[in-house]
Structure 1
Amino acid sequence: MATWNLWWRLGGHERRRPAILAALRDLDADVIALQEVWSSPADDLASLLAADLGMHASFGASPDPTPWTSGRDGDPSYGIGNAVLARWPVRATGTEGLPAGRAPGTRVLHGAVVDTPAGSCPVWSVHLDSSLVGSAGRVEQVRVIARRVVTAPPSDLPPLVAGDFNAQPDSDEMRLLEGHLTAPAEPGLLLVNTRRWAADPDEPTWSPANPYVVPSGSPPARIDHVLVGLDRGTVRVRVGRVALFGDRPVEGVWPSDHFGVVVDLEVGG
């Protein structure tokens, strides 16, 4: 399982696209949650990547892409959204703009079910508000996510909630969604952050080591996460290796402004 923010059409997207594809091909993940995926009336980047990778895709568009399309590098003919790619068939279950934040409704939660050989696996691709002082808004957003997880139909495999949360692990919103160090957003819901299994749990996914990040002046932070509902589903899953990817240039081109997170999940046993 992997997650990655693809930085929409910003930062010379045509030059970055081959680097994105190369990084994903080298990763060879079974399931990938994507954020800031561009779309047009004719196609979307997730479907194009899936075709190149021999995968299946499910894409959900933001109901209001104007924060991106009205910017300096924006293009009003394109939209933005989240996606799920998988080695096996994918069934979309819904997409919605999340509340609160600086522009309510523009950040997206996209749900899908992946029909894996081990059974059905619900996956949510998440993109939360990015304001450095937006924790209160993100708390409202994760409450919506938690509610969607607990009200989803029963599944074989535990739910996976992955994406760009724009929040560090010890923030109010992440502790609330995880439900491990504080009362959970929904009674009984535990979504364990897989960073707990990483060799360096604090290794940043937003880092000045990436030249795209330097102009922001913001500090390094781990803001991209994969959470697993280990006590849900009927098929047991264990967390194995947790690492970053997309954290180096491909033939001189950095693929995105975020690094991705990849998690090995061992099924059964």
Structure 2
Amino acid sequence: MDGKIRVATLNVWGRHGDWTTRRRALRECFRSLHPDLVALQETIVDGTCDQVREIFGEDYHVLHQGRRTPVGLGCSIVSRWAPDRVEEIDLVVTGRVDAHDFPGRSTAAEFATELGPVLFVNHKPNWQVGYERERELQALEVARWIERLVEDRDDVHVVLGGDFDARPETASVRFLTGRQSLGGLSVSYQDVWEFARPGESGHTFTLDNPLIVMEADWARIPPRRIDYLMVRCDDRGPTLRIHSADRLADQLVDGTFGSDHFGVTADLGPVD
């Protein structure tokens, strides 16, 4: 896309369900999308399996999170460009964060793109519904970390994505989108869905996708929008123009969805 880049995020859901069928659906999804940068959560990478390569093949650069659970679960970044640098931050912020259940890290990679340097951050806080305190602390850690990474550089854009496991009205997301401060810090990231599709629910974890109850009882909570792409703001707004935002992997392929989550994708370009 001339003058634009396409970014995406999706929780892959490990090898749950019928992975062979889901893999075909995800391959078709990303083959049609032609993304430039993708944040993936809950990918399995171990001595026998690399789910990301199974989906994307060898056409992309792939970065895997360094620390994973004992079964190889963690996060990954997929890119058309080789990274200029890769950093990780620890998110084990309280004693309730169990590294055997949750990798407890976020990953950032900087890329030279046609829009200039882009720091792409894959953020995966805790998933438990009652752990908003941990998600607040994790959002605060990531926000402080990003500010250190960009070092007040005016030339670098930051795109923050992931499965945040938090609705837009929660404190962790309100903090990231500039609606409140946490721990004496305030930042502002523009939620691409809110910008491009104001008033639309955009649920990414919903009973519209029957896979969410296949291996756990998620029917007890209402539909939620918990997967995000956000663009860091300067004093007046996002440093990249948000041309569009769409849900991702929300269509059946061969009778199945690719994951228990729907993802998010956005086209970003320069500010005129």
TM-score bracket, normalised by the shorter chain, equals 0.7 to 0.9
Counterparts in 2 of 1:177-192, with a 5 A limit? 177-178=176-177, 180-183=178-181, 187=185, 189-192=187-190
Displacement of 1:19 after TM fit? 1.0
Corresponding position of 2:207: 208
**Which residues of structure 1 form unaligned runs of 5+?**
70-78
Counterparts in 2 of 1:254-269, with a 5 A limit? 254-269=257-272
Corresponding position of 1:44: 50
Displacement of 1:94 after TM fit? 2.0
In structure 1, C-alpha distance between the alignment counterparts of 2:110 and 2:53, rounded to whole Å: 16
Contact 2:22 2:256 in 1 (8 A): yes
Task: Identify which of 226, 230, 235 aligns with 1:227.
Answer: 230
Counterparts in 2 of 1:29-178, with a 5 A limit? 29-41=35-47, 44-52=50-58, 54-63=59-68, 65-66=69-70, 69=71, 79-99=72-92, 100=94, 101-103=96-98, 106-153=103-150, 154=153, 156-178=155-177
**Which residues of structure 2 form unaligned runs of 5+?**
1-6
Give the TM-score normalised by the residue count of structure 1.
0.85
Corresponding position of 1:253: 256
CA RMSD of aligned residues (A): 2.3
May I ask how many residue pairs the two structures share in their alignment? 253
In structure 2, C-alpha distance between the alignment counterparts of 1:41 and 1:91, rounded to whole Å: 27
Amino acid at match of 1:156: D
Give the TM-score normalised by the residue count of structure 2.
0.84
Displacement of 1:185 after TM fit? 5.8
In structure 1, C-alpha distance between the alignment counterparts of 2:148 and 2:115, rounded to whole Å: 22
The verdict on how the C-alpha distance between 1:41 and 1:94 changes in structure 2, with shifts beyond 3 A counting, is farther
Contact 1:150 1:186 in 2 (8 A): no
Greater relative contact order structure (CA < 8 Å, 6+ sep): 2
Amino acid at match of 1:118: L
Displacement of 1:102 after TM fit? 4.3
% same residue: 25
The verdict on how the C-alpha distance between 1:142 and 1:161 changes in structure 2, with shifts beyond 3 A counting, is same
